[in-house]
Every structure is written in C-alpha cells, then in structure tokens.
Structure 1
Amino acid sequence: MKNLILALISGVLLAICWPTYGIPFFIFFAWVPLLMAEHNIAKFSTVKKKKLAVFGLSYLTFLIWNAVTTGWLYNSQLPDGSKSLLAVLFPVLTNSFFMALVFVFYHLYKKSQGTYAGLVFFVAIWMCFEKLHLVWEFTWPWLNLGNVFADYHQFVQWYDTLGATGGSFWILVCNVLVFYTIRIWEAGRIRKSLIKNIAMSVAFIVLPMIISLIKYYSYSPKTIGTINVTMLQPALDPYAEKYRQDSLTIENDLLKLASENSIIKLKGNENQNIDLYLSPETSLPGPGSISERGFNNSLLINNIKNFLTQHPKSVFAGGISSYYVYKEDEEKPSTASYLDRQGIWVDEYNSAIQIIPNQQPEVYHKAMLVPGVEIFPYINFFKPILGDVMMDLGGTTRSLGVSEERKVFANPYNKSVIAPIICYESIYGEFVTDYVKKGANLLTIVTNDSWWGYSQGHKQLLAYAKLRAIETRRDIARAANSGISAHINSRGDIVEELPYGYKGALMAKVNLIDKETFYTKSGDFLSRICLFVIGALLLFIPGRKYLARK
C-alpha cells in the first residue's frame, strides 16, 4: 500500500506540472516517490515477481500523467460525429506502456549493477527514450520532460544552447539528486551529509534558472530587418465547414480577411503595407486537394496571384492539401498509392505553399506526420494485422507523402526567408533547426488545432512553439484555423495573439534574425551522448563479471 501511494503521488505530481494549467516546479521531485517505490520493492519487498510489481506501479504513475495531460484527445470525432474513445485510449495506454517498460529496464539494471550505476542508467535510458519519440513512426514527444517549462519560458532561456532535451536532462538529474539525498539520510542519518546534498540539489535546480533570468532580461536580438505579416484565422469548424464548404467560398472569405487587413498601423500613425499573408494549415482548397502538376492552371492559386497584383511586393504563404500524379517512367516512393479506376500512381500531401505573381509556386510537404491520422506506423507490418480499422477510427489506411529535406521560402522583395513549419512539426526542436540551417530567418507555423475544440490541445501546442523560438532565437508568426494565431518573439514571449474561435486576422511587425544559436548547430547532442553512455553501461556488465572471475 505504501508503494502504491508513492506511485500515485508521482503520477499526480507529473500531471499537475504540465502546461498550460500546471506549476512546473514540482517536476524537480515528481519522479522521487516512484524511485523510492522501486527501491522499496527491489531491496525490501518479499514479492516474488518484482519486475511485474515495478511495471504495475510505474504503469499506474504514467497512466495518470498521460490521461490528465492528453485526455483532450477525446474531443476527436469519428466519421459519424461521435467522440472517439480510442483516439485517447490508444495513445494514453500505449505511451504509458512504453514508459513503464523503460522504467523496468532501469529496475533490472539497478538490481544487477547497484544503485549508483542504476541511477546513471536511469537518466541515460530516459533521454534515449525521449529521443526515440522524436524519430520513430510512433512519434509522440508531447510529454518529453523539457516541454514542461513551455509556459514559464523565462526560466529556460538557456535552451538556445542545450534545447528542450537539455531541459529533460536537467530535470532527470535533479530528481536523481533529490532521491540520492533522501536515501543517504535514511541510510546514515548524518546531518552534515544531508545539508551538503540538499545544498547541491538546490544549486543544481536554482542556478540554471538564475542564468536564464539574466539571459532573458539582458537579451537583445540583432536583427537584419523587419517585415509586416498578416496571420489569417478563418475559424472554420473542421468537422462541419472546413472540408465541406465550396472551395471558392472558403478562398473568397480568406482573401476578404486579407484585403481588410492589408495595411498595418504603426506608432506615430505611420501606415505600411503587408509583406506576407499567412494562412493556416490546409486552408485550401476545402474538400479535395490541388494537383501539383496543375498549379499554373489552378483557379484557386491564380485568384491569389490576382489578389497579390493589387498589393504590390506582397507574398502569400500558407497550407494546402495537394497531390502529385506520377508518370509511368517516374520513380514512385513507398508512400505512393495506385488508384485502380484511374490507373495512376499518386501521392497525397499536407503541404505549405508560397505564391508570388509571375512565379511558379514553391511547395513543401509536411514531414513529421501525426501517427494514425496522417501516417500508418510501420504499415508493412501492421496493415496485414489491422486491415482498415484505422479508417473506422477516423484515421488513415495509408501514409501521406513527405519532403525528405526541410525547405525554406525566400521573399524576392525583402530579406525574409521563412521556415514553413506545419502544425505537428513545431514540437520537434532539432527538426526545426534544419530550417534555420537552410537559411530561415523567420519561423512561420501554419496549423489547425480545432480538431479537439476548446481544450488543452491547442494551448499546449502554442506553448511548445515558444520553446522553438528560444532554441533558434527566431521570431514566430503562427496562423491557426480557429486559434490561437500569434506573434512570438525570439525570447519566447507572446507579443500578440487572437483568441480561440475568433474569426479575423492578426497583423504584426516581426524581426528577421540570421545568427545561429549553439543549439541550432549542435542539436540534441546530449541525447547522443546518453546513447553512448547506455552502450558503455551495458558493456560494463560482462566486463565486471570477467574482472570478478579474475
């Protein structure tokens, strides 16, 4: 019962830390009760199946954490309009299982090699697990520990050096230090040692925050210019309007919003024209998609070009649904599908497009796809087993096409080079730095967060974007279908925003910054170091046995 209570405490502490409702400072000891429960089972419990006991308690902890922080997934709707229970059950139960499995690995290693080596293994394996969640097809980095300070970004300004993965490392080490302090006190009751360990733990928690606050208040961006951006927010219901209304009706409303917000008023009553109009994810065409072979003949795209001719030196960028039909002699990627009735191979995309009069539109295809919705994870293995069950749950039976490399859109009228980040991609720190390495001096995010209604979902995704601003030291212009559209500066502050559900446009003067941060250059190097540490610790086991025999 004592261990059960400890597991419950850890689950509650992890849950109440999370943005955008929580207090993140509990995170520095949220793991400690679960670590203590594991220690009690490993050292003192008479239970025969200790591995199963550790798995059960840790699964309870992670189930609470996942359910409370991502329960908003329940607002997803099935094709018949009912709530999708499996849309929340599958990620919550599955991610909790993966987390508990990782914790059992720590338990086994600690049992084999002792507490000190075990705690090092705990930090390293959790860092590797979070890195795995950033790269595999079941990708779900929503609960990576470094995200916890997204709403308190003033305390993590050093993410421009170590990134959000550095935040995860910091949090894990702090929890280990607090756990170690408690264990040393329980073992020896030596007051001098207790004071020393408490001081060390407090210093490791507080010093990075102090450094961050100094950076926050002393930071001054070195810009190479500014541009005026209008972020369009059409506020279409994704279930009832966005994919059912006539495409021209949707576009006309979008361009009307743009036309009504084509002049920005600055301080001193100075008026300036808009340089960039930004529309949300899949804002066009409504139902269906646009052929990439027919961009030049597309009525929708030509309407935007005609709009731009009335607003000289302006550029339009935003999200579209598109497809590409392959010729017989063209190489087809694995994501291409064969349509029997038409006798053609085709790829479908969630895309970002830049439109300029008298130029061929530029297009980028979303590369980090939402599992189950835009990508069927490990389709060759699971499709024969699951069949079309994903479609019945509002998901997909195949995967969208992707761009293998990041792409940026340069503006011919000014110095701006934008990163066309699409929705879910904004969670991925190292991934976003690839846009900056390609020359992006402004991050733009086009998104549709209205699938989950007014919930924590769209709020958390907006908060995570603030971390990308800090990591890359770039301003962000964010256009969302129903909100929250926002201008985020390079310190992570939300300068202006439009509320969820509001139909309108947000005009902002955003900075262009071309200097690369250390994190942009190095990426998640702490995760890669932890991978080598895991290898060394595993090799240590046979090495230690060999030395013992000697």
Structure 2
Amino acid sequence: MKRFIYSILSGILLALSWPTYGFPFLLFTAFVPLLLLEHEITQKKEKYSDWKVFGFTYISFLIWNYGATQWLHFSQNPDGSLSWIAFIFPLVVNSFLMSFTFTLFHFIKRKGGTWSGLIFFPVIWICFEKIHLNWELSWPWLNLGNAFANYPQSIQWYEATGTFGGTLWVLVVNEILFYYIRAYQVTGKRAYVWKLTFYCILLIGIPIAISLLIYQSYKEISKQKLEVVLAQPALDPYNDKYSQDGEQIVENLLSSIENDITPNTSFVVSPETAFPGRGFISINNLPNDPYIEQIKNWMRINNPNLSFVSGASLFKEYTTPKTSTARYIKEGNYWVDLYNSAIQIDLPDEVQYYNKSRLVVGVEHFPYSKILKPIVGNYMLDFGGTMESLGTQEHPTVFHHKKNEAKIAPIICYESIYGEYVGRFVRRGANVLFIMTNDSWWSDSQGHKQLLSYARLRAIETRRDIARSANSGISAFINQRGDIEKRLGYGVRGALKGEVNLNTKLTFYVKYGDWIARVSFIISGIIIAYVITKNIIEHMKIKKNAEKYKILKNKN
C-alpha cells in the first residue's frame, strides 16, 4: 500500500506541475517518492524487481500524462465523434517509455551500485527526452524543462542550456532530496535535515537568482523595429475551414485585418494552413496561383510595401516517385507530395515558401509505416483533408525581405516545441520568429495554452522576438525575455498589431544546441560500459573461485 501511495503521489505532483494550470516548482519533489520506492525494492533484493519498478512507475506516469495532456481527446474523427485514440495512444505509449527509462535506471543501479545509479538517472532521462525529440514517434510535450514556460523570470539561463538545463535542474534537486531523506531515515541525525534545507536553497535559489538578474538587466537587442499585424480568422477547423470556397476564405482573412494596416506595416502574418482551405496550391505555379494573386491585389490597394507571410497547403507534382511520402494519382498518372507550408508574398511577384518538417505523429506523419501499416492499417486522424504522411524538406528556409533587414524564421505550429530545430533557423540568419499555428482542433482546452507557453521558451533560447498568429487564438507578441506583451484571446476574430525587434546576436544555445543531451549520451555510455565490465569481471571471479573450490574438493 505504501508503494501505491508513493507512485500515486509522484503522478499527482508531476501532473500539478504542468502549465498552464500547474505550479512547476512542485517538480523538485515529484520524483522523490519514486526514488524512495525504487530504493526499497533494490535494498530488499526482491525477485522480479525490474517488473515491480516498471509497474509502480507506470501508474505515476499514467497519472502525469493524463493530467497534462487529457485535452487531446477533444480532437474529432471525420464523423464528428471525439477521437479517444488521439489521447489513449500517446497516454499509454508515453507512459510506457517513461517507465522503461526509469526501470533502466533501476537496473543499472542494481548492477552497478547506488552511486552509478544516481549519476545514471538524470543523464538517461535526458537521453530519453532527446530521443523523443528526434525519432519518428516524437512527443516531447512533457520534457521536464518545458514546465517552467510560464515563469520566464526563473529560466533566463535557458539561453545557454535550452530546456535540458531545466530537466537537469529538476532531477538533480530530486536526487539531493532523496539522498538526505534516506540519510535521515537511516541515522536519525537532524544534521541531515539542515543539510537538506541548505542544499535545496542553494540548488534552487542560485539559478533563480541568476535568472532574475539576467531578466532585470536584459535590454532588447534591436537592429531594426518593424510593425507587424497578426491575423486571427477564427475559422472552425471542423465545420468551416475545409468546406468553404478558398476565395471566400482568403476574402474573410483579408477583411479581418485591413482596418489595422497602416503605411508603416511591414508584415502581415496569418495562421497555419490559412488558405485555400479545401485543396492544395501547386508549388510549380506559385506566382500565378489565383489565391496568391487575390492577396497581391489586396496588397496593391492597402500597402504595396508590406510582406504577407502565411500558412498554406501546397503540393508538388512528379513524373516518378522521388520521395518516400509521394503518393500516386491514378487519374493523372503522376505522383504528388502534399505539404503543410509557409509562404511569403512580396510585390511585384516574388513568393518564397518553406515546408513544415517537424510533423505531428498520427496526424501529419505515419511513423514507421513499413512496420505499423500492416498492423494498424491506414488509420490517421483527418486533420486538414489528408490521411497520408505529408512531405518535408531537409533544411529550414529563412524568408528574406528586400525592403528591410528582416530575416524570418517561418515556424509552423508543432515545430515551436523543438528548441534545437528553431535554433537552426537562427543559425541560418533569422533575426525574428514568426509562428503560424492552428491549434483549435482541441477546442478551448489546455492544448493551445500550453503550445503558446512553449513559444516563450524559444524566445529565451534564441533571444528573438516572436509574432505568433493562431487560427482561433491565442495570437501574441513575445519579447526576447519570454514575456507576452500583447495577446488576442481564444475565439476572437480580428487582428493584433504590434512591433518586433530584429536581433542578429547568437546565443550560446543557438551556437551549440542540445549540448547537455550530447554530454548525457557520453556519460550514459560510459556508465553502461562500466556496469557491463564490472559484472563480467565479477562473473569471471565467481566462475574462477567455483573452479578452485571444485579442484580443492576433488583433492580432498
């Protein structure tokens, strides 16, 4: 019963730590009950200890995943029913992966000793988070460093470490708490209580104090300041967006912002897949597309000097299948790739485009299709009119402007979770971030609020202003410290006008990316090699002693 209480307590603390409803500093205690539970099982040398650790931790991580991401069930199937598979699959699988990672720590600790385990735990958890950012089942939503997104004053040092600095911070404090709690339990000495208090104040207080100093002294870096208007058309993605005529969608989009356009407006930013709604626009014929021409005509009347940056649905034709995502169109005898894209329209005729490359699993991307398709069939959630994997591109594209110094990182929705990937745009010259998103698939739930919060992390990591246009909201302007300066609430149709600063300076994190994760892989590899070698040597000694004993016994 005590172990069940421990596992449930950890799950509740983890869930209550998550934005946007939670208090992230609970994370500093959230793993302590699990560490105590694991230590008891290890100390007693119980049979099937790996399975016991896995089972109890699975309860914790189910509670955490449920509490933080239950909003996923608001997504709808094509028939209008709620899609519970969109919630249950990541709930079950992500909890499994977390429990597997914790059980691996237990195995190493059991085989290599307490100190090997305590060093291994934070680094293997960071390795798990890093893998979760890069493999085909990517779901880094619950990476621990994300939890502090709504408290930018306390994590300004993310400009050097990225979110993995937050993950390491959380896990080290948990281990210090666990160590001194165990020391007090064993000895009963109050000195360990004072040491526990001292080290917690030190390890939590110093990073926060450093961050507050950076926050208070930081001055916005600005090579140039530009006026930007964000469009928020508030189209219902299930009933309106893919049923209306594309020309009408563009007209409604433009009418929602034209009262906010001034001669000083440099950019209009509209949301992910803002047009054409139903169907796709050919990449091969972008300058002559009728929807783009409709926007150009509007620009000629309202402000011919501005740039129109928007999400759009694009496609590209091939005579032969040139990519793994290309699909065959039997009627025309050709192959086609579909893309979730961003475009920049400038007068007189230039159109730049970028194809989203970090895709949502099960919605835009069928992971490990060669293995999973024969098992689950062609089932994918129909978000945006496609039931196949979308195409991507190898390198990020930065949009340039001929009339000012702006170099735009066109980040599309889910991509804003990936710190190192966003940093690649900045290394390619981006001096401002435009985020285009349509997260109204999940209604007015925690989903769109959490995604907005995560954008604040990217502002700190890159020290870039962010202009974020969301279909139904929340559209916002975020400064280089991660503060939300202006916002347009969920469900409001209209526009939001603000200014962005252009910054060309590169942060340590942008230059070196997820360096903490790379170091963690090295340390994990060393510890695993050490434990394997140690156990092989011990096994050989036991075998050798057994042979000596056998020889002596035969002599006697």
Match of residue 282 from structure 2:
291
Correspondences of 1:534-545 after superposition (within 5 Å): 534-545=524-535
Query: Paired residues, what number?
Result: 539
Deviations 1:75-98 (A, max 9, x none): 000111011111110111110011
Match of 1:325 among 317, 321, 324: 317
Structure 1 residue 524 corresponds to structure 2 residue 514: yes
TM-superposed deviation, 1:168: 0.6
User: Offset of 1:292 from its aligned partner?
Assistant: 0.9
Contact 1:70 1:457 in 2 (8 A): yes
Asked if 1 retains the 8 angstrom alpha-carbon contact of 2:305 and 2:347, the reply is no
2:359 is matched with 369
**Counterpart Cα distance in 1 of 2:437 and 2:383:** 22
User: Is the contact made by 2:221 and 2:501 (CA closer than 8 Å) also made in structure 1?
Assistant: no
Alpha-carbon distance change, 505 to 391 in structure 1, aligned in 2, over 3 angstroms: closer
Mapped pair 1:315 → 2:292: no
Equivalent residue runs for 1:489-528 within 5 Å: 489-528=479-518
Q: CA deviation at 1:529?
A: 0.4
The one-letter code sitting in structure 1 at the alignment partner of 2:197 is I
Q: Is the Cα–Cα contact under 8 Å of residues 308 and 314 in structure 1 kept in the other structure?
A: yes
Distance 1:547 1:106 in 2: 21
Deviation for aligned residue 1:196: 2.7
Which of 433, 449, 472 pairs up with 2:439?
A: 449
Distance 2:87 2:18 in 1: 18
- Cα deviations by residue, 1:279-323 (Å, 9 ceiling, x for unpaired): 100001010111111212211001111122221311000100010
**Paired residue for 1:280?**
271
| Correspondence list, 1:340-355, <5 A | 340-355=330-345
Distance between the aligned counterparts of 2:485 and 2:279, measured in 1? 35
Task: Show the counterpart of 1:266.
Answer: none
User: Corresponding residue for 2:10?
Assistant: 10
Counterpart amino acid of residue 368 in structure 2: Y
SS at match of 2:211: helix
Which residue matches 1:256? 255
Following superposition of structure 1 onto structure 2, how do residues 332-481 of structure 1 map, counting pairs within 5 Å?
Answer: 332-390=322-380, 397-481=387-471
Distance 2:289 2:526 in 1: 57
Q: Partner letter of residue 402 of structure 2?
A: P
Alpha-carbon distance between aligned partners in 1 of 2:223 and 2:184, rounded to the nearest angstrom = 55
Amino acid at match of 2:241: K
Match of 2:40 in 1: 40
**CA distance in 1: counterparts of 2:239 and 2:385, whole angstroms:** 17
Cα pair distance change 1:9/1:394, threshold 3 Å:
farther
Task: Check the 8 A contact 2:77/2:381 in 1, yes or no.
Answer: no
Aligned residue for 2:551?
none
Contact 2:156-2:215 at 8 Å conserved across structures: yes
- Name the CA shift for 1:546/1:81 in 2 (closer, same or farther; >3 Å): closer
Q: Name which of structure 1's ranges 252-261 and 385-394 shifts more when overlaid on structure 2.
A: 385-394
How has the CA–CA distance of structure 1 residues 509 and 389 changed in structure 2, closer, same or farther, with 3 Å as cutoff?
closer
Contact 2:111 2:535 in 1 (8 A): no
Contact 1:78 1:394 in 2 (8 A): no
Query: Which amino acid letter does the alignment assign opposite residue 13 of structure 1?
Result: L
SS, match of residue 137 in structure 1: coil
- 1:51-90 deviation per Cα after TM superposition (whole angstroms, max 9, x unaligned): 2211111000000000010000010001110111111101
Give the structure 1 partner of residue 147 of structure 2: 148
Query: What is the Cα deviation at residue 532 of structure 1?
Result: 0.5
Find the counterpart in structure 1 of residue 545 from structure 2. none
Match of 1:285, SS state, is: coil
Quote the Cα distance in structure 2 between the aligned partners of 1:211 and 1:41: 39
2:295 counterpart letter in structure 1: I
CA distance in 2 between partners of 1:305 and 1:391 (Å): 34
Q: 1:408 to 1:117 in 2, by over 3 A?
A: same
Structure with bigger gyration radius: 2
Deviation at 1:393, TM superposition (A): 10
- Aligned partners of 1:72 and 1:452 also within 8 Å: yes
Measured against aligned partners, the alpha-carbon deviations of 1:315-348 in whole angstroms (never above 9, x if no partner) come to 00010001000135xx701111112222101000
TM superposition shift of 1:395: 9.4
1:245 maps to 244
| 2:295 is equivalent to residue 304 of structure 1 | yes
How far 1:149 moved relative to its partner?
0.4
Q: Which moved more, 1:495-504 or 1:508-517?
A: 508-517
Letter of the 1:242 counterpart: K
* Partner AA of 2:273 in structure 1: T
Letter in 1 for 2:23: I
Letter in 2 for 1:323: F
Give the residue type in structure 1 aligned to 2:186.
Answer: A
Matched, 1:30 2:30: yes
Task: Give the match for residue 176 of structure 1.
Answer: 175
How much does 1:544 deviate?
A: 2.4
What is the letter of the counterpart of residue 103 of structure 2? V
What's 2:554 paired with? none
The 8 Å contact of residues 419 and 440 in structure 1, kept in 2 or not, is answered as yes
- Structure 1: which amino acid aligns with 2:317? V
Residues 363 and 383, structure 2, Cα contact 8 Å, conserved in 1 = no
The normalised TM-score by structure 2 is 0.94
1:192 equivalent in structure 2? 191
User: Could you say which residue in structure 1 is the equivalent of 2:113?
Assistant: 114
